[in-house]
Structure 1
Amino acid sequence: MKREDIADLMAFAIIAEERSFSRAAVRLGLSSSALSHAIRLLEQRLETKLLNRTTRSVAPTAAGQRLLDRLSPALGEIAEGVEALAEERDRPSGVVRINTHRSAALLHVLPKLPILRKIYPDVHLELGVDDAMVDIVADGFDAGIRHGEQLARDMVAVRISPEYHTAVVAAPDYLTGRPEVRSPADLLQHDCLAWRYRTSGALLKWEFMQDHRKVSVDVEPVFTTDDMEVLIEATTTGAGLAYLLKEQVATHLASGQLVEVLPGFSVPHEPCYLYYPSRRQMRPAMRAVVEVLKGGIGRAAANEQPSTDAIAESHS
């Protein structure tokens, strides 16, 4: 193998990860044209087409994917070896990629960014926000954030939030002059706004604790969306009642934009966990992010625990 092959193979892996020549060029500090030229030369030397290019996307060919599958472990070891040098100078650095649903990003990650920047200025956090479950290993993420009941058993999980609670909320203007909501069954007399899972297409169930057992109400929504922020915004405009996590709308409730109905029927939900593959050695940068997100800066990840449940779709 020639020396230039190593650099070009690494460039190929980054292009495949980013699915874009322009984004890969930014990461590599090259121009898109120079990077494209390097890949063409690599394909000529290997006498194999590695990437399918269109005006909108870039993806590995079948041969390219087979090569990438062989390259990824070796390139990962090289990256970990280089970043492990940070341990010697006690200054974590590098990129940590985390996949999370929108609520966890807003509630538990963004508020801690200033702390991360202050304590670990050389750590760059990259968030992939997706309300659907993803395979963090296959998609190139270092870790993910989901609720406890949704974690695969081969992951290490670190709790980063308190327990959640469901809430049915509405704008005060919507409730004016409408039937009072005293029990879950009363919801059938109201306009309900629903959230739909992107992966399965199913509607989120409206579940309640009643007489010490969990019951569900099959509402017929007048509005449905797969974007939680859109759902909250629709609720604040007075479009109807929405079934959310109370923590998602805490500021809206505090300001009076929204009010909660049926508070005595709330259902508790698992807290959020940061999870990552147990077989992977933790990089210094990753360890720094774990410590900040769980609120244990300067301490080892003492409360790590293997999760036991199968991956399912997220409750955003």
Structure 2
Amino acid sequence: MLRENIHDLIALAAVAEERSFTRAAARLNVSQSALSHTIKALETRLGMRLLTRTTRSVAPTLEGEDLLATLNPAFDMIEARLKALNDSRDRPSGTVRIVAGEYPIETLLWPKLSPLLKEHPAVNVEFVMEYGYTDLASAQCDAGVRYGEQVSEGMISMRIGPDERMICVGAPDYLGRAGAPETPHDLGGHDCINLRLSTHGQLYAWEFQEPGGAEFRVKVSGQLTFNTINPVLQAAIDGHGLALVPDRLAGPALEAGRLKTCLDAWCPTFPGFHLYYPSRMRPSSAFGLVLEALRERSD
């Protein structure tokens, strides 16, 4: 439909509803002559009369009634949708699906989003727990969480957490029995708790950095292998060997004396978690609130 027809159809609907050019012109804030010209131009383009005019009233013709029967429900739907969008500014609603691993869900997403959900009961959040890179479109997710350096091109990336550091930990009784490794190359003589990566099924090679030097990886072995990080931490607490885990995750156990660190000088920091989502996405009112709640602030 030509763009100018929209304005003319709105004028037609107003005249038909008011049954008067005078009242319709006042409602549309135009002159009566301009409104009359608009209706005549529409009728000319369509090649038919849409209104019957008398000295006392205006009424739709049969063709006009037929056209209005389609127009009025459509206008009502548009008006209702615009009102809903306007209301959403004051009462955001909708569902946001976020794909992330267990660790960021528990330590970042949930602590930040729990207060938001209490404040906005019409906002829903669905967590999809995955550990590999997830295609958001195929998974029907709005956003995902990954470490900063792992976010793909073409995605908007927003930091949601501080820098991270993987640390080597062990229970005091294990370190008392086996001793603490002095360098990562000593890990071959230790029981280490492995993490199997869901992306390609391989075991995670522990990442270290020479003090002031290059990064390198060490493959470790031991009795236990898990595919999520929390059981790895618990197994270390229970004395089954050494584990390489995020420092924030191990923090409570370290403070309680249930774990001790080793190889501290070899464990570098790296960019923390980022939320990523498609650059073409138009954020809904609910998604906008989620973004604001998750955004990492320096203070």
**Normalised by the size of structure 2, how large is the TM-score?**
0.68
Q: CA deviation at 1:170?
A: 0.9
Q: 1:217 to 1:83 in 2, by over 3 A?
A: farther
Q: In 2, Cα distance between the equivalents of 1:292 and 1:84?
A: 23
Q: Which residue is equivalent to 1:221? A: 222
Q: Which residue is equivalent to 2:110? A: 110
Moved more, 83-92 or 143-152: 83-92
CA contact (8 A) 1:98 1:141 kept: yes
* Secondary structure in structure 2 of the residue aligned to 1:126: strand
CA contact (8 A) 1:86 1:93 kept: no
| Larger fraction in helix | 2
Alignment of 1:190-269 (within 5 A): 190-211=190-211, 212-269=213-270
Q: In 1, Cα distance between the equivalents of 2:129 and 2:219?
A: 29
1:259-303 residue CA offsets vs partner (Å, 9 max, x unmatched): 11111111222211111111111111000000001157xxxxxxx
Q: Percent identity?
A: 34
* Secondary structure in structure 1 of the residue aligned to 2:139: coil
Q: In 1, Cα distance between the equivalents of 2:103 and 2:84?
A: 32
* Secondary structure in structure 1 of the residue aligned to 2:193: strand
Q: Which residue is equivalent to 1:168? A: 168
Q: In 2, Cα distance between the equivalents of 1:161 and 1:89?
A: 27
Give the root-mean-square deviation of aligned CA atoms: 2.1
1:285 and 2:286 aligned: yes
Q: Which residue is equivalent to 1:138? A: 138
Q: In 1, Cα distance between the equivalents of 2:82 and 2:147?
A: 32
Q: Which residue is equivalent to 1:98? A: 98
Q: Which residue is equivalent to 1:122? A: 122
Alignment of 1:176-187 (within 5 A): 176-187=176-187
Higher relative contact order (CA 8 A, sep 6+): 1
Alignment of 1:78-97 (within 5 A): 85=85, 89-97=89-97
CA contact (8 A) 1:115 1:292 kept: no
Q: CA deviation at 1:206?
A: 1.1
Q: Which residue is equivalent to 1:14? A: none
1:58-77 residue CA offsets vs partner (Å, 9 max, x unmatched): xxxxxxxxxxxxxxxxxxxx
Q: 1:188 to 1:288 in 2, by over 3 A?
A: same
CA contact (8 A) 1:196 1:203 kept: yes
Q: CA deviation at 1:221?
A: 2.8
Larger radius of gyration: 2
Q: 1:282 to 1:239 in 2, by over 3 A?
A: same
Q: In 2, Cα distance between the equivalents of 1:191 and 1:88?
A: 55
* Secondary structure in structure 2 of the residue aligned to 1:282: coil
Q: CA deviation at 1:82?
A: 8.1
Amino acid at match of 1:92: P
Q: CA deviation at 1:109?
A: 0.9
CA contact (8 A) 1:83 1:283 kept: no
Q: In 1, Cα distance between the equivalents of 2:83 and 2:226?
A: 41
Q: In 2, Cα distance between the equivalents of 1:206 and 1:160?
A: 24
Aligned residues: 217
CA contact (8 A) 2:168 2:261 kept: yes
* Secondary structure in structure 2 of the residue aligned to 1:250: helix
Q: In 1, Cα distance between the equivalents of 2:236 and 2:83?
A: 46
Moved more, 167-176 or 220-229: 220-229
CA contact (8 A) 1:167 1:260 kept: yes
Q: In 2, Cα distance between the equivalents of 1:270 and 1:295?
A: 12
Q: In 2, Cα distance between the equivalents of 1:88 and 1:124?
A: 14
Q: CA deviation at 1:219?
A: 1.9
Q: CA deviation at 1:115?
A: 2.0
1:218-243 residue CA offsets vs partner (Å, 9 max, x unmatched): 32233211121221121111000011
Q: 1:167 to 1:289 in 2, by over 3 A?
A: same
Q: 1:210 to 1:121 in 2, by over 3 A?
A: same
* Secondary structure in structure 2 of the residue aligned to 1:192: coil
1:133-189 residue CA offsets vs partner (Å, 9 max, x unmatched): 211111111111111122121111111001101100111111113233221122122
CA contact (8 A) 1:182 1:262 kept: yes
Q: In 1, Cα distance between the equivalents of 2:295 and 2:87?
A: 21
